């Protein structure tokens, strides 16, 4: 599910959903043998804004600050 702040009546509810999504992704990565450092980089070091592209991953701080609503990978896919 994409995180759209305007859809939440309660900011606390939004934060709980974000944490649950990140925990789920980290668990899946762990089960698939990803290195803990990769999990940290790919999940926990991301801002709490979800990519609106096909990956539904999390944006980096740089991507979010640039005003994009997609990660670089999805942005390139959309152009191609």
Q: What is the DSSP string of the chain?
A: ----GGG-S-HHHHHHHHHHHHHHHHHHHHHTT--HHHHIIIIITS-S-B-SSSS--B--HHHHHTT-SS-HHHHHHHH-
pTM exceeding 0.95: no
Q: Which residues of the chain have a pLDDT value below 70?
A: 1-9
Mean pLDDT of the chain: 83
């Amino acid at each position: 599910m994409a995180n759209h702040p305007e859809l939440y009546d309660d900011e606390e509810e939004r934060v709980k959903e974000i944490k649950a999504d990140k925990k789920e992704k980290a668990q899946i990565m762990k089960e698939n043998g990803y290195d803990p450092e990769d999990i940290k980089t790919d999940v926990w070091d991301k801002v709490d804004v979800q990519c609106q592209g096909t990956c539904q991953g999390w944006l980096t701080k740089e991507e979010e600050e640039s005003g994009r609503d997609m990660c670089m990978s999805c942005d390139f896919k959309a152009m191609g």
